[in-house]
A = this chain, B = another copy of it.
Amino acid sequence: MVQVESGRTRILDSAAAILRHKGLAGAKLSDIARGAGMLAPSIYHHFPSKDHLVEEVMMEGIYHNNRHIMARVEGLGSGASPLVRLRAAIVAHVDFLLAGDDYSSAVARVFDDLPDEMRKRVLAAYSSFDNYWRDLIVAAQKDGSASKALDATVVRKFLIAMLDSCSSWYRPGKLGPAQISEQAADLLLYGFATERP
């Protein structure tokens, strides 16, 4: 028997899609409800407020993305070098965003606009993810395969900002998602210049 998607899930899916494309202030409850096949007040049967709904989308986005990246990296097996693991994480992150996951794209889009208290909670949930990236980066430095001259925190911030941006500018065309993610990894790991200084 096929269980039709519940009303609650349809609301979350719709909210994620609209937050992703229109931002926090641009995501009206009436639009979200329409995407879920209902009218705005019906949302309140499932969520106590817009803020609660948004926060749940953020948490789902972080969780989905996190799981996807970890699964790909850990799927490499125990023999993979730190640099190979870092590369896999970069590729997985871009692939995931460009595969069109509305939840994780919504996080990248509206995080800066969240109300202060909510942003703190979302950031706390995000921190396990952040730590995972930090570990990948630091492991590559310890192992000698990545530059110790670059600050691990600066690298992480720049790397994540760069990767997160792709869902806002990528449009299908001559390059597919797979090419974009490979280029992201090549650019970050080996740089744009052909020779070292």
Binding site for B on A (CB under 8 A): 23-26, 83, 86, 109, 112-113, 137, 140, 144-147, 149-151, 154-155, 157-159, 161-162, 164-166, 168-169, 175, 179-180, 183-184, 186-197
User: Chain B contacts of A188 at CB under 8 A?
Assistant: 187, 191-192
B145/A194 in contact, CB under 8 A: yes
Residues A190 and B194 in contact in the complex (CB < 8 Å), given A112-B109, A183-B151, A184-B158: no
A192/B155 in contact, CB under 8 A: yes
Q: Which of A24, A158, A166, A169 has the most CB of B within 10 A?
A: A158
Interchain Cβ contacts under 8 Å between A and B, 11 examples: A25-B113, A83-B193, A113-B113, A145-B195, A147-B194, A150-B183, A151-B175, A151-B179, A154-B180, A154-B184, A191-B191
User: Chain B contacts of A194 at CB under 8 A?
Assistant: 144-147
Chain A binding surface, main DSSP class? helix
User: Chain B contacts of A190 at CB under 8 A?
Assistant: 147, 190-191, 193, 196-197
User: Chain B contacts of A165 at CB under 8 A?
Assistant: 157-158, 161-162
User: Chain B contacts of A146 at CB under 8 A?
Assistant: 192-194
User: Chain B contacts of A183 at CB under 8 A?
Assistant: 150-151, 154-155, 158
Residues A157 and B147 in contact in the complex (CB < 8 Å), given A25-B113, A26-B113, A188-B187: no
A23/B192 in contact, CB under 8 A: no
CA distance A149 to B185 in the complex (A): 12
A125 vs chain B, min Cβ distance (A): 18
Given contacts A158-B183, A161-B166, A161-B169, 16 further A-B contacts (CB under 8 A): A26-B113, A83-B193, A140-B192, A147-B186, A147-B194, A150-B186, A157-B165, A157-B166, A157-B169, A158-B162, A158-B165, A188-B192, A189-B191, A190-B193, A190-B196, A190-B197
